């Protein structure tokens, strides 16, 4: 199991069929389940997807048993079925999604780039680095997710231009505009995928 995935835990849910998501236009990859006003997507392994009736009427009741895991990197709860059964409409008051663990997903700390705007940095390429950062974030559609903050002297004037990547607190010295893309790939490449 990849490190970013939490341990697998069994789940058992009862809910109403709400459609399917197809892969390659024909194979049922996910079954959508409406449970207590929420929709869950449950992955069907190949062997199960072949036995699932794609013409099942939306609103039909299903019981699905399987395993759940949390992809911490993406903050996604993954549900995979090991079996499913059509059932009669149960007593509504007994329905809940409490069998599915609601993992606490830690909010990622905000991403930010602190760039020194004092004269030693600014006049030795800092301004160009700043402009490249702005443009590169715009090009990647990340302007609203990665802030650029101009700061006072970072006490590293002899290594100008200087910047710090947050929340990692990684200091970078002698930064050149040509390094901007590499830095964004390094720190934010998969953060917002």
Least Å from the CB of residue 179 to ligand FES: 17
Nearer residue to ligand FES within complex by CB, 5 or 157? 157
Distance CA 13, CA 122 (A): 59
Strand pairing category for 76-87 and 111-116: unpaired
Find the helix packing angle between 127-139 and 180-188, rounded to 10°: 50
Q: Which residue has 């301004």 as its token pair?
A: 127
Site for ligand FES in 88-117 (CB under 6 A): 116
Distance CA 159, CA 118 (A): 13
The single residue among 6, 63, 71, 120 that binds ligand FES, judged by CB under 6 A, is 120
Nearer residue to ligand FES within complex by CB, 72 or 124? 124
Least Å from the CB of residue 4 to ligand FES: 36
Q: Report yes or no: 20 and 60 within 8 Å, Cβ to Cβ.
A: no
Nearer residue to ligand FES within complex by CB, 79 or 164? 164
The single residue among 121, 137, 164, 180 that binds ligand FES, judged by CB under 6 A, is 121
CB-based contacts of 138, cutoff 8 Å, min separation 6: none
Least Å from the CB of residue 66 to ligand FES: 55
Which is nearest to 113 in space by CA: 58, 68, 180? Answer: 180
Nearer residue to ligand FES within complex by CB, 49 or 162? 162
Secondary structure percentages of the chain, helix, strand, coil, to 5:
20, 40, 40
Nearer residue to ligand FES within complex by CB, 35 or 160? 160
Site for ligand FES in 147-186 (CB under 6 A): 153-157, 160, 162
Nearer residue to ligand FES within complex by CB, 96 or 131? 131
Q: Report yes or no: 14 and 92 within 8 Å, Cβ to Cβ.
A: no
Least Å from the CB of residue 191 to ligand FES: 26
Residues that bind ligand FES (CB under 6 A): 116, 118, 120-121, 153-157, 160, 162
């Amino acid at each position: 199991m990849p490190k970013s995935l939490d341990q697998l835990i069994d789940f058992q849910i009862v809910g109403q069929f709400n459609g399917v998501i197809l892969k390659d236009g024909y194979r049922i990859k996910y079954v959508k389940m409406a449970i207590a006003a929420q929709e869950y997507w449950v992955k069907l392994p190949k062997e199960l997807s072949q036995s699932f009736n794609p013409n099942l009427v939306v609103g039909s009741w299903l019981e699905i048993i399987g395993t759940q895991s949390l992809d911490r990197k993406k903050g996604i709860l993954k549900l995979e079925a090991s079996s499913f059964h059509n059932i009669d409409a149960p007593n509504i008051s007994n329905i809940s999604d409490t069998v599915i663990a609601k993992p606490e997903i830690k909010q990622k700390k905000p991403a930010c780039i602190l760039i020194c705007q004092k004269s030693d940095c600014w006049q030795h390429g800092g301004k160009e680095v700043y402009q490249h950062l702005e443009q590169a974030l715009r090009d990647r559609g990340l302007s609203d997710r990665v802030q650029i903050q101009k700061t006072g002297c970072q006490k590293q004037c002899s290594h100008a231009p200087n910047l710090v990547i947050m929340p990692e607190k990684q200091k970078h010295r002698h930064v050149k505009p040509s390094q901007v893309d590499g830095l964004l790939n390094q720190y934010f490449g998969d953060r917002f995928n």
